[in-house]
Each structure stands twice: as C-alpha cells, then as structure tokens.
Structure 1
Amino acid sequence: MAERESNMGLTTLRMNAYGTLVNRVPEIREKYHKMRDDQTSSWQRPLAWFYLGVLNLGWLLGWRPEGAAAGRGMGRDTRTAKRLSAKGGVYGGGPAESVGSVRETPERLAQRLSAYDVISFDVFDTLLFRPFASPEDLFYIVGQKLDYLDFRRIRMEAERCARQECLEKKGHREASLSDIYDWLEREAGIPKEEGMRVEQETELELCFANPYMLQVCDRMKQSGKRIIALSDMYLPSESIRRMLEKCGFGQIRDCHVSCEYGCSKSDGSLYGKLMQKLGTGRYVHVGDNRISDGENARKAGWDSISCTNVNAAGKPFRAMEMSRITGSVYRGLVNARLHNGLQSYDRDYECGFVYGGIFALGYCQFIHDYAQGHGIERILFLARDGDILSQVYRLLYPKEEEAGRIRYVLWSRLAAVKLAAPYYKYDYFRRFLFHKVNQGFTLEQIFAAMELNDLLDGLTGAAGPGGSTGERLMHAGLSLKKEDTLTDRNVHTVKDYLNGRWEQVLAHYEDQLEEGRRYYEKALDGASRAAVVDIGWAGSGAMALDVLVNRVWGLDCEIIGLLAGTNTRHNAEPDMSEAQLAGGKLISYLFSQSHNRDLWEQHDPAKGDNVAMERLLSSPLPGFRGFFGPDWEARALTPRTDREGKQAERIQQGILDFVRLYQESGMSRYVPSISGRDAAAPAYLWMEARRGQTAGEDIQCVLA
C-alpha cells in the first residue's frame, strides 16, 4: 500500500512538473515535442530535458520562440513588421524583397554547366516546388483525401519510425514510401495501397516547376551532356520521373533516389556510388541544401553550385499569424515567385502580389459564396476599389461574367452624399462640414467640394447689399471670408446658412440625380436582388445607393452591401452601421464587432489603416466626382498616366498574378475559401511596417 501511494505521489509530481515546464506555454510545448519526438534512445533524453530547461529559462528572461502567439506580448508578425520598417529594410529605404534573390541568368548558368560531363540536379526545392512553405504540409491534403484526422502528424511519425526500423534491419535510414505505409497500415489502420496511391497522386498533382531551373534545362537540351536528377527521398524514382515530366523536365530521364540505393546525399555516400555506376568524368551537382548538396558533393570529388531555398529566403518577410494550411500555401506560393532567382520586381508589384493578392482573392471568394447562397442576381463593384476586385472576380468566375451578373459601376462617397442628401440630410452636413472642422480646409474648398460655389457669396457678403447673410453676420460681429478655414467656431453658422437654403442646395444635384437613375437602371437591368461591393467602412455607399434605388428612383431592387471591413472602436461613430450589420443589410468579410474582434480592436483609421487598405486595392482610374458634365462616364473610365496611376497598375498586376498562381497551383480544390482573418494577416503586417507613411486624403473623398 505504501509503495503504491509512493508511486502515485511520484506520478502526480511528474505530471505537475510536466504541466509547469511543458504545457504551461504552448510555444515551449511545440518546440520541446519537435525535439523530444526525435529522441528515441534513453541516452538522448537528458538532451531533451536540457533543451526544455533552456526554453523555460529563456521564456522567463523575456525571449519568445519564433511564432509566439500575438496575444502574448509582441506577436511574430509585429516583430517582422518592425524589421521590415527598420533602416535598410524593405520599407526602411532598402531594396524590394525579390532583389536579394536574383542570380545569374539561366543562359549563363547553362553555359557554366555545359563544361561538365555529368550534370546533377537536386529535385525538391531545386527543380520542383510544392505550393507549401514546408514540404510536410502536403500531408494535410493527403489526410483530407483519406478522411483521416491528424494525418500530417501521424505521417511524420510514421516516417521517423520507418527510418529507425530500416536502420535496425538494413543498417541505413533510407526508408521507402512502401516502408512508411507498412508502418501506417500496421499502426494506424490506413490501407497501404490506397495511402501510397493517394500520396503519389497528390505529389504529382500539386508540384510545379522552378521557372529559373526550367529555363536552365531548356537551354541545355542541345548540349549532349548527361543530365540526371539526384534526390534524398522516399518516393520511388519512377514517381519522381513522372513529376519531372509533368513540369517540363522530360529531358531528365535518369533519376537516382536515396531509398533505392540505401545511402544518401546527406551522409555523402550516394555521390560515390553514382560515380562508380556512371564512370569517370567531371561531375557537378546543383541543389539548395548547403550541406547535402554542397559540402558533401565537394567532399566526394564533385563540383557543386548552390541555389536559393525559396522558403528559407522568404521566411523572414512572411506573415505567420495565419491558419496552418492557408498560411503555408500563401507563404509557399509567394516565396516561390519572389525568390526563384529568375527576376526581381518593383516594390509596387510586390505590394500587390504579397499583400493585396490573398486579400482580393479571399474577398472575391466570400462575395461569390454569398451571392450563390442568397439568390443575388447582380453584383455591382463600386468604383474605385471595385476595379481590381471586379477583375479578380471575373478571373475566378468567368461564367458569372458570361451570364452578365457582374458590373463595375461608378460611385463614390462624394456622389453618395450629394445624391442621397434629401434622405440623409444629417449625413450630408456631418461629412461635408463636421468631419472637416479644424483641418485647414477653407470655406472656398468646402463649398467647391459640395459644388455650391455660387452660394458662397451669400455667406461671405460678397453678394452685395440687400440684407444678405454676410451682412447679418458682420452686424453680429462674425465676418466670414472665402479664405477663412472651417472651424468649430463657424461650422454651425455655415450649416445654418445652408439649412436655410436647403431647396437651393438640393436643386444643384437634380440633374445628377436623374443621370444617376438612368445609369443604375441600366446597370441593374431588372434585377430584384443585388449585392453592392465596397471596401468599407461604414457601408454608407451601399446604404445611400439602396435609398436612391428604392426610395427615390423606384427601381424596386433589394440592395445588400458587402464590405471588406466596418467602422471600428477607433471611429468617432463605431456603432454607425450596427443595426444594418445585425439585420444582414450589410455583411463584412474581414472584421466587425461580431467577428474577428482582434482586428476590429486593432484597425485604426487615425493611423492610416483605412488609407492603407484602400491603397492595396488601388486603381489607375480617377476618382468619380459625380454624374455631371457631357463626358462624366468617359472621364471616370480613362486611366491616369501619372506616377500614381502607374503605381496602381503595378499593384493590380501583382494581385492578378497572385490569383493566377493560386489557381494554377490547384489548391482551390482543397482550400475553396480563404477566411477573412487569413486574408487580413499579410495586409496588416504590411500596414504595420508602413505606419506613418500613408498620405493625406483629398477633401473630395468625403471620408466614411
């Protein structure tokens, strides 16, 4: 009895110690298990315990493991943003990210390689890429196909165990795929033949060529040299040959794999075996691993040429606070494009590709899902944020375009405030006047923005005698001039003046109101339910359009507003749209008070966050001022040719290229929708890195 109680006490003590040292901090637990699970011998355990002690000591001293959660002090992405904005960083005066990975031209490398008799290429991360930041993340998709929970972790455990069994039985650790699935069938119940088939099919389906190496190999076709592939891999050589052929490397028929030789590049012995098999000559090996592809090749008498591991090169720049699969796919695709060595890109292109692409892609998926599930007959993308969104949507869903359901329509906060003034009178004064108080805008600028220039003289007294408002103000001791700025002292006087001439104010917009009716009647084309897409933030654009369509123009079409994000706690009116959001009149993708509240708490218009997000959806088209002038539509659809217009074109090109790459990767079949939280992570990293760099806004924007 005493012995049993002693054992129970010891067990309790061990569990308490484990809970304190391992489970207390998730990041420590993850790193400890990554090491401990590989330590299978009893003599290795003290090393794992020592490592655990170091992790806990470091945590107490303030050090945080890579990838520590954002909620615990400074998050990983915040640290990345600070590094990018530091002196010499991408946003601290340094070069664009891709510049550092550009290498010699494919022609030059092919010329160098032609001097050798046997040219060997590493396969994975050199010739072939996977659409993941980590190769083992492909196992998520295999597990999805097999309907097997936690398959990625179990598959990694199976490989470790199969290698250990191989070492014990054959004296080496080069387990084959068959060995791995022997273990999985025995220990996990996964049918061996099905599992092997699914994994090889998935590898073949998702792999894609390194464009740099594809050009190198294309230029060597006529060289007459022997080109081989050499890989430390569990897949059979025939499977790898099929992958190479699919990706355009069909000229490489000679494929050598470690599991079929019982030795590897990582221990250096595979190089010697191949030299014995292939005969004498000058050998060179090209690969991304510094040790196995570089040092070990040279020790064996080969020359070696290193290439960049794209994921290692891109890791310091990437957003990490994303879900595991979507985050890995995003990072893998971005890294493959920017760091393959073929070319560099300008910063505007990278802005679109790296930060805007996944945002636009996820938002358009969200729009499509909503439209399909709610009987939406027409999707109206509002200018100008809707320019690139409509392009992405058409790229993703061409049948929607063929069916005529998509429209890019001219609209703006300025147009909305003017045309909806009869119904949203309070909003008219709030946006045109009270949002501009004490910001340095002159009365002349304010009245010009409202298109009421002819009414300004009556306020300032320039209209002459006759009991004008200007004269009454002078008698009251308050004299206003056109060049006076709008302040908290005179704003109510200006408002009262306009209120007293309200019918005159509305008369200025009557022609535009009628022109707008004709325009939207054609755009809606008899639809009874339409979604209006905007970036945000209060939803005023969609709500104003709803009022006009149904209360003013009588077009009888239900309008639903789809927003990227809403007003946040930092807005002067954080609850402005809550009733409409609660009732489903407005729907938000990224955040609102009811979902992704961490973003809702974080997003701050005063720090330039609204402006930054709108920059990600930049358009070369000019701002829409309203339905006036003989060529109002042509003006609004003619791209600018100035510097900002060119920058917007490059941002849009980056976004479209990311979306195309995502489509080509085949991952949309397995990750059909990107959550708002995932889509936001790269954008917020970029915004954090650019704090204080956002420019002021034009008065005509009439901020929401």
Structure 2
Amino acid sequence: MKRLTSALYSFFIARVPGIHARVLPFYKRTNSRVFTLLYALLLNACYLVGFRFLKTPPPYREKKLFCASSESARAPLCSPKDFASSLCAFDVISFDIFDTLILRRVSKPEKVFFFVGMALCYPDFCTIRKAAEQQARVSAYQNTGSYEVTLSEIWDVLSKQTGIPKEIGIQTELRCERACCFANPYLKEVIVLLQQANKRIVLCSDTYFAEPMIDDLLTSCGYQSLHTRYLSCAFRQSKADSRLFVTMCKTEGMHRSIVHVGDHPISDQAHAKACGLSVIPYRNVNALGAPYRTDDLSPIVGALYCGITNAHLYASDRRYSRAYEYGYLYGGLFVAGFCAFIHKTARLCDADTLLFLSRDGAVLQKAYQLLYGEQALPTKYVYWSRRAATKLTAGYYRALYFARFFGETQNQNETIRDRFEKAEVSALLAPFCRETGCSADTRYTHKTSILVTDYLKVHMEDALSCYAPQRAAANAVFSDLLKNCRHAACVDIGWAGSNLFSLFYLVNELFSIPCKLTGILGGTTSQNISPSDTPEPFLANGTFFSYLFSMGKNRDLFSFHRPLSGHNLAFELLLGDTTGTFLGYYPDAQGNPTARFLGGFSSYTPEIHRGILDFCAQYKCACDALSLPVSISGRDAYAPMKAVLSPKNRAYLKQFEEEFDEGAVLP
C-alpha cells in the first residue's frame, strides 16, 4: 500500500514542480484528501493539455496595497477599556493563548523552527520537525484516539530521527519560543482591567506545550495570575473537535455564562458557539496583514518582517498615519538593512568615522546609532548636495557642471537670466549679453544653451572665481570636520555617486586634507537610465560599495529600478530631511562659514522618519531576543519597496505626489 501511495504521489504530484507547489498548500488549506486528490487530477489534466504555468513553480504573488486610508485604520479595535467592559458581562472569560494573548515575532508558528535549527546547527530542521510532529500525532491517534500530543512526545520521535538528545532539543525549542513570543499589548491591558474587576479568567488552547511550559511563556510575556488552563495536550481533547470546550463548560459550571475570545474562525469561534458559549472574535494579526505583505522575501527575514509589522499595526487600537506607515512598512527594512551594511562595510574598510551626507543621512544616522549604540563608529552629519558639489568642483568636473546648470530645459518659460542666477554666476550675465548680443530675458532654448556653454568654456576661470568664497568656506568646514580623522566612510543614498566622487576630489585634491575616503551607497544607477555604468569603476576598485544593487549585484533590481518613473524619488521621500536643498557653504559677515538652504522637503518627513525608527527599534529587539545580528540582504531590503513601485500600486504613491521636489511620483 505504501509503495502504491508513493508511486501515485510521484506520478501525479511530485513529477511536475508547478503541480507540487500548488497541491501541498491546497491540502493545508482544505485538510481534505478527497478535494486535494481531485485538485491534483485537475492540475494534471491542465498540464497534459499544455498549460505552461504548471511547468515551473508559481512566482511570488504581487500584492495590491491598501490605498483607501492608512492600513491600520482598515480594521480598528475599540479601546481596551471598552473591550474589557463588554467582557465583564459574563461570569467566566476564556482566552485562547497563541495568536491571541501571546503573539510571535514571526508570521507563522512553524517559522520558529528555523531558529531552533539554527541554534542546534541542524540542516533542514524545520521540515524534519514538522514531519516528526505529524508522525507523533498519528501515533497518538492510534494509541489514544486523539491527535493531541505533548512537546515531549514530539521529541521522542524527533530525537530518534535526528540524533539530537531529547532534553537538549526541548530546552532549545522552548528557549526559541520564549525569544519569539511577546504579550499582545492590547489584550494585556484588557487582562489587567478584568483582573481589577475580579473577573474569572481561564485559558483554553490547542497546544503541545505542557502546563509548566505555558507557565514559563506566560511569565516571560508579563502575564500574572492566569492559573486555570484547559490545554489540549493535557486533556487529550481539542477545540478543533469541540471536546475541550465541553470539558471547560462542565468544569466551570453549565449554569454560568461563559465567553470565549480567540482568533481562529473555526476552532475558537464556530466550535465554541456550537458548544453554547458566547463568542467575541479576536482578529488574527497575521491574517489581517497577509494580503498586503510581500512574499518576495527570504524565509527568515520575511518571517520576522511580517510578524513584527502585522503585530504593530493590528495588535493595538492605535491608528497610524499613511506617512508613518510608509516609513514603517516600506522604509524600515531598507534602513535597518542599510545601517547593518554600513556598519559591516566600514569595519571591513577600517574606517574610523562615518560621514552621513545630507539630506538622506539624517534618519540614517539616527537609525545607525539606535541599532548599534555603544558599538557604533563615531558619526558626523555633513551638509552636502549635488548642487553644492557641482559648483565647487566645476573646474575639474566640467561636463557635470554644464550638464547640471546649462543643459537643455523642458521649462519653456525659463530665461538666460534664470540659468545664470541658478548657477550663481550672475556677474557674467552682462558680459555674455554684450559679447553674444542676446538679451538676458531671451528664452533659454537648445540654441541659446549652446551660446551659453560656448561662452563659459572660454571664460571658465571667471565662472570659477564666482565660487571662490564658497570654496574657502567649504575648506574651513571640511578641514575642521576631518582634522582628527584618518579614514572616513561617506554614506549617501546614491545613485550615480556624483555626490561622493565630487566630495573625494574636493577634500583630497583641492583642499589637500590627508584623510582617506570610502563611499557607501544605498544603490547605484539603473539599467533603465543612460549611462548606467557611471559608478562601476569606483565599485571595481573598492572606492564605493553599493547595498541594494549595481551592475554586478542583484541584477533583477538593477533591471527593475526606473529612475525616470520616480523610483529614486520614492526612496528619497523616505530619507529626505526637512532642511531643504543644501545650496552650499558661504562666508557670513565675519567670514565664518554658514550653510544655506532652499525650501523644504516634505511635511510628511517627521512621520515617515518616526515610522522608520520604530521599525528599526522593533527589529533590533527581535534580533537581540533571538541572538541574531541585524543582517538584511539588499535584495530583501528592496522587496517591500518593490511592491510600492509596482505599476499595480501606482495609487499608493500618488497620495504623496505633491510633496516631491521634482514633479510626479509616477508617470
């Protein structure tokens, strides 16, 4: 019989990856062998007809993000006080434990097994552990007529299969569970209010954790005096077959009014009602968040990201703003990962100082210090911009200078005067007009741009003299900033790296400051913009390091990222500070250097940054609890933003469009 079953499984399911990848999740959802068999036969028929989608496993599903309001506002909870008041109408209040009173820092309970396997240094432990539990349940049913088992019984099977000593395995799993579990902040407050009202509280849960283990987990989560428990493994009964509810009703007294609070729509709600209990459903935070969390993440980072964010948004009666959620959900993972990359790269390069360049560096510096505390390298925040860099290095990087200030324009109302003023060379406007016969109010067009650039190429020394006070002021600033610095790692969002190589030339060549500089970029140029290889020589020789992508790293992102479609701006909205565009360093009346700015950036910025920093703090807390380093690949860090930047979710960024310096977010 086993051979026949194995042969059928191999022929109808395992031989085609696309069928195998769909049948197992279907079985988990339906828990019906008949329906699963019919589904497998249907997929095989489709495969024989020639449906190509079955020949490879399905890719991750691109999610459509919630755009009607902030996500946390879509399923609001009442206040803990109001919820506790509604429960006080009953004599006995029963709570489910996991996913209700206790939440995990991961998206699914079985994800905890990744950390157990990591602690035990055992490959493929997650798969082996799940199979052992299933085997233990089948054996228990054959012996007792119940599928309910204890953790000890699971490890009886598992220790024989793996060679891991049973006691070591149990203690390791409990330690990892304790690290992953935390109290639901909303229901913890409700429990305190109920205890103050002297209400009888009992716990009713399907679990393989014995009572001492549940005691340990509840205590570690801060719950006190919750002593009456109806645990499936202790009674060999479950909520899934309703028998555990029947036992609870008999024990607590059939004449007493009992209400049950739990997250599972069948076990905690339908079956409780069938047994005559009143039910107040509690929403499962991961089920609520799942439709909007990207699947395009590696298993461990994805489990932590989804578990942390779902609990934060839905295990509370708080409603966050859209701007906060943009920072928290889509910027938090990027910033946490980028800061880890910054720390690791700076250490490998033997840098002694981190220079965070404005404006993107403001929140990065705060996040870096939050994540690393006493282990952080010394940091300095430096006002710098492409505009200031272009002016100060115009003598050497002339091509960039002319392209930035005197390239062609799409603004048909711009005049020659406007261009000279923007480049801060207004002193040359009158001589230009005399020499060329143009009026200062002539429209700036393709033809007049040629006249202007030809004139400036001849009179470049005059143009450079206009920037002499700014160069002197910048020299004073950077000489003071780097006077005790041997090697500084400069942090910038990217993209072509012009900010960095301009700074390097200014510091080392023009100012002759003896400090080695290394660049750490969030990302580089993209395949979808020309030229796409600008920073490549600097990446090749180790002058620059890129986190998210480059021509040699995460090439799918290098192909996906579209600067002309607003992708750069979406990242800059996450990081940009409120100080506005940095124009440059200028001497004041006393000759001291001062920084000047133009305009602001975004009224959303404080909320976006608050969201980013909250996520970083929570992710660090999870990593500390699990004894993990904060390590997030660039590919994972980009994944939540990839969902935002998808054409499918164009409406999500439209709400921020008016806040951008440079027009529409997306075309």
For normalisation by structure 1, the TM-score amounts to 0.86
Q: Which residue of 1 aligns with 2:650?
A: 690
1:415 paired to 2:415: no
1:25 paired to 2:17: yes
CA–CA separation in structure 2 for the residues paired with 1:301 and 1:148: 46
CA–CA separation in structure 2 for the residues paired with 1:567 and 1:20: 46
Q: Which residue of 2 aligns with 1:295?
A: 270
CA–CA separation in structure 2 for the residues paired with 1:69 and 1:412: 44
Q: Deviations over 1:273-324 (max 9, x none)?
A: 1222233411111011111111111121211110111111101111111101
1:470 paired to 2:436: yes
Which of 607, 617, 621 in structure 2 is aligned with 1:664?
Answer: 621
1:680 paired to 2:638: yes
Q: Deviation at 1:489?
A: 2.5
Q: Deviation at 1:143?
A: 0.5
CA–CA separation in structure 2 for the residues paired with 1:275 and 1:20: 46
1:647 paired to 2:604: yes
CA–CA separation in structure 1 for the residues paired with 2:271 and 2:233: 18
Q: Deviation at 1:221?
A: 2.1
- Matched residue type, 2:318: Q
Which of 220, 223, 230 in structure 2 is aligned with 1:246?
Answer: 220
Q: 3-state SS of the aligned residue for 1:234?
A: coil
CA–CA separation in structure 2 for the residues paired with 1:311 and 1:435: 51
CA–CA separation in structure 2 for the residues paired with 1:63 and 1:246: 51
Q: Which residue of 1 aligns with 2:257?
A: 282
Q: Deviations over 1:134-157 (max 9, x none)?
A: 110000000001111101111111
Q: Deviation at 1:62?
A: 7.1
Which of 435, 444, 452 in structure 1 is aligned with 2:425?
Answer: 452
CA–CA separation in structure 1 for the residues paired with 2:468 and 2:287: 60
Q: 3-state SS of the aligned residue for 2:226?
A: coil
Q: Deviation at 1:49?
A: 3.8
Structure 1 stretch 361-370 or stretch 511-520: which is displaced more?
511-520
- Whether the aligned pair in 1 keeps the contact of 2:497 and 2:535 (CA below 8 Å) is yes
- Whether the aligned pair in 2 keeps the contact of 1:418 and 1:428 (CA below 8 Å) is yes
- Whether the aligned pair in 2 keeps the contact of 1:22 and 1:52 (CA below 8 Å) is no
Q: Deviation at 1:339?
A: 1.4
Q: Which residue of 2 aligns with 1:54?
A: 42
Q: 3-state SS of the aligned residue for 1:674?
A: coil
Q: Deviation at 1:440?
A: 6.0
Which of 149, 152, 167 in structure 1 is aligned with 2:126?
Answer: 152
Q: Deviation at 1:499?
A: 1.4
Q: Which residue of 2 aligns with 1:475?
A: none
- Matched residue type, 1:383: S
> For the structure 1 residues 591 and 58, does the alpha-carbon distance in structure 2 shift closer, same or farther, using more than 3 Å as the test?
farther
Equivalences for residues 16-415 of structure 1 within 5 A = 18=10, 22-26=14-18, 28-34=19-25, 48-56=36-44, 70=59, 76-77=61-62, 80=63, 83-84=64-65, 89-90=66-67, 94-279=68-253, 280-400=255-375, 405-415=378-388
- Matched residue type, 1:315: A
> For the structure 1 residues 390 and 422, does the alpha-carbon distance in structure 2 shift closer, same or farther, using more than 3 Å as the test?
same
CA–CA separation in structure 1 for the residues paired with 2:304 and 2:317: 21
> For the structure 1 residues 525 and 238, does the alpha-carbon distance in structure 2 shift closer, same or farther, using more than 3 Å as the test?
farther
- Matched residue type, 2:557: L
> For the structure 1 residues 21 and 299, does the alpha-carbon distance in structure 2 shift closer, same or farther, using more than 3 Å as the test?
closer
CA–CA separation in structure 1 for the residues paired with 2:532 and 2:300: 33
Q: Deviations over 1:349-374 (max 9, x none)?
A: 00000000000000000000011122
- Whether the aligned pair in 1 keeps the contact of 2:587 and 2:594 (CA below 8 Å) is no
- Matched residue type, 2:613: L
> For the structure 1 residues 436 and 524, does the alpha-carbon distance in structure 2 shift closer, same or farther, using more than 3 Å as the test?
farther
Q: Deviation at 1:22?
A: 3.8
Structure 1: runs of 5+ lacking an equivalent: 1-9, 462-467, 472-478
Q: Which residue of 2 aligns with 1:581?
A: 539
Which of 420, 424, 441 in structure 2 is aligned with 1:482?
Answer: 441
> For the structure 1 residues 187 and 600, does the alpha-carbon distance in structure 2 shift closer, same or farther, using more than 3 Å as the test?
same
Q: 3-state SS of the aligned residue for 2:203?
A: strand
Q: Deviations over 1:43-85 (max 9, x none)?
A: x8765442223335567797979x9655xxxx522xx1xx33x
- Whether the aligned pair in 2 keeps the contact of 1:437 and 1:488 (CA below 8 Å) is no
CA–CA separation in structure 2 for the residues paired with 1:605 and 1:38: 41
> For the structure 1 residues 483 and 102, does the alpha-carbon distance in structure 2 shift closer, same or farther, using more than 3 Å as the test?
farther
- Matched residue type, 1:369: K
For normalisation by structure 2, the TM-score amounts to 0.91
- Matched residue type, 1:355: Y
> For the structure 1 residues 189 and 598, does the alpha-carbon distance in structure 2 shift closer, same or farther, using more than 3 Å as the test?
same
Q: Deviation at 1:248?
A: 2.2
Q: 3-state SS of the aligned residue for 1:560?
A: strand
- Matched residue type, 1:227: I
Q: 3-state SS of the aligned residue for 1:591?
A: coil
CA–CA separation in structure 2 for the residues paired with 1:437 and 1:313: 46
Q: Which residue of 2 aligns with 1:3?
A: none
Q: 3-state SS of the aligned residue for 1:381?
A: strand
> For the structure 1 residues 291 and 47, does the alpha-carbon distance in structure 2 shift closer, same or farther, using more than 3 Å as the test?
closer
CA–CA separation in structure 1 for the residues paired with 2:316 and 2:29: 34
CA–CA separation in structure 2 for the residues paired with 1:447 and 1:588: 35
- Whether the aligned pair in 2 keeps the contact of 1:101 and 1:308 (CA below 8 Å) is no
Which of 628, 632, 635 in structure 1 is aligned with 2:586?
Answer: 628
Q: Deviation at 1:443?
A: 2.7
Q: 3-state SS of the aligned residue for 1:489?
A: helix
1:606 paired to 2:593: no
Q: Percent identity at matched positions?
A: 35
CA–CA separation in structure 2 for the residues paired with 1:344 and 1:217: 22
- Whether the aligned pair in 1 keeps the contact of 2:584 and 2:595 (CA below 8 Å) is no
CA–CA separation in structure 1 for the residues paired with 2:337 and 2:415: 41
CA–CA separation in structure 1 for the residues paired with 2:50 and 2:619: 42
Task: State the aligned residue count.
Answer: 649
CA–CA separation in structure 2 for the residues paired with 1:399 and 1:439: 54
Q: 3-state SS of the aligned residue for 1:565?
A: coil
Q: Which residue of 1 aligns with 2:464?
A: 506
CA–CA separation in structure 1 for the residues paired with 2:134 and 2:161: 13
- Whether the aligned pair in 2 keeps the contact of 1:101 and 1:340 (CA below 8 Å) is no
> For the structure 1 residues 346 and 55, does the alpha-carbon distance in structure 2 shift closer, same or farther, using more than 3 Å as the test?
farther
Structure 2: runs of 5+ lacking an equivalent: none
